[in-house]
């Protein structure tokens, strides 16, 4: 297949393009002549204004889908977010609005993937900050948090995207995607520490006080992804267990 990837230079896009070429697919330079489009080029955080999120994540996504349909592209895979389900913030609302708009685009098969927190080599933002803190032995006030959060290794997400490009039964569907069983934030910190060979230094602190700080509030909440539809309908299984994904991420981090 010939695949056009928007956002090919980003964290997820780089991994996807490498996997596509490794499996013999051709990377198209534009939608014209492509069999499918994978749309990754969105604002991937909540710090932008709601107007900017709508311009890029909603209007930009719908423009790319219409462009692909006009060019005769068969399938459009959109990387949404698990936050589209809960509409927790302007970012989540922008992702949901894009999903709803895509249903109205005619002449193209749309597949939506909703990942939670994505990690892996070349990860940025919050996960990298957490990994850096654990690696440096920074004491973290997270021991009292008792929540359930889904995560997904970038290699597992890419594998799900590759399947979504070709599976006939994926057309018109929305799929959650994750590594599997959710973990608590303290568990995740300890898993990161084990991968780095540095024990996570966690101490108890009132969760209610943590929630007063917006950057920490997300760490206290639960966010589980139901990926049973992806597993049941498409027969997908994540090829990498979380421990292996974190080991690969730690190997990259140590190389910096």
Q: Which residues pair with 77 in a beta bridge?
A: 38, 111
- Secondary-structure class of domain 116-152+178-223+239-256 per CATH: alpha beta
What is the reported pTM? 0.96
pLDDT at 186: 98
pLDDT of residue 191: 98
Cβ contact 43:52 at 8 Å: yes
Torsion of Cα atoms, 210 then 242 then 96 then 10, to 10°: 100
Q: Which CATH number fits domain 1-114: 3.90.340.10, 3.40.50.720, 3.40.50.800, 3.40.50.300?
A: 3.40.50.720
Query: Identical fold at 1-114 and 116-152+178-223+239-256?
Result: no
Domain ranges (residues) in the chain: 1-114, 116-152+178-223+239-256
Residues 6+ apart with CB under 8 A from 178: 115, 116, 150, 151, 152, 156, 225, 227, 238
- Which parts of the chain sit beneath pLDDT 70? 45-46, 87
Question: What tokens were used for 201?
Answer: 């230094």
Q: What's residue 218's pLDDT?
A: 84
pLDDT tens for each residue of 155-196: 999 999 999 999 999 999 999 999 999 999 999 999 999 999
Query: Residue 214 has what pLDDT?
Result: 80
pLDDT at res. 45:
67
The whole-number pLDDT of residue 109 equals 98
Whole-number Å distance between alpha carbons of 94 and 111: 17
């Amino acid at each position: 297949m010939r695949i056009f990837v928007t956002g090919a230079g980003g964290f997820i896009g780089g991994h996807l393009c490498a996997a596509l070429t490794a499996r013999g697919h051709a990377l198209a330079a534009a939608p014209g002549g492509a069999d499918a489009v994978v749309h990754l080029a969105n604002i991937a955080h909540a710090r932008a204004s709601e107007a900017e999120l709508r311009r890029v994540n909603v209007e930009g996504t719908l423009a790319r889908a219409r462009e692909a349909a006009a060019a005769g592209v068969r399938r459009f895979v959109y990387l949404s977010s698990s936050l589209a389900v809960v509409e927790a913030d302007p970012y989540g609302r922008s992702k949901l609005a894009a999903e709803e708009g895509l249903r109205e685009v005619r002449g193209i098969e749309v597949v939506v993937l909703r990942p939670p927190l994505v990690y892996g080599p070349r990860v940025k933002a919050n996960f990298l900050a957490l990994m850096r803190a654990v690696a440096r032995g920074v004491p973290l006030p997270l021991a009292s948090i008792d929540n359930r959060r889904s995560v997904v290794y970038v290699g597992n997400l890419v594998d799900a995207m590759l399947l979504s490009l070709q599976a006939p039964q994926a057309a018109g569907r929305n799929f959650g995607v994750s590594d599997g069983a959710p973990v608590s934030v303290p568990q995740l910190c300890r898993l990161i520490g084990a991968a780095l060979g540095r024990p996570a230094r966690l101490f108890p602190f009132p969760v209610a006080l943590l929630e007063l700080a917006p950057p920490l509030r997300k760490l206290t909440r639960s966010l589980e992804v139901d990926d049973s539809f992806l597993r049941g309908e498409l027969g997908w299984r994540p090829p990498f267990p979380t421990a292996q994904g974190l080991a690969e991420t730690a190997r990259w981090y140590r190389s910096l």
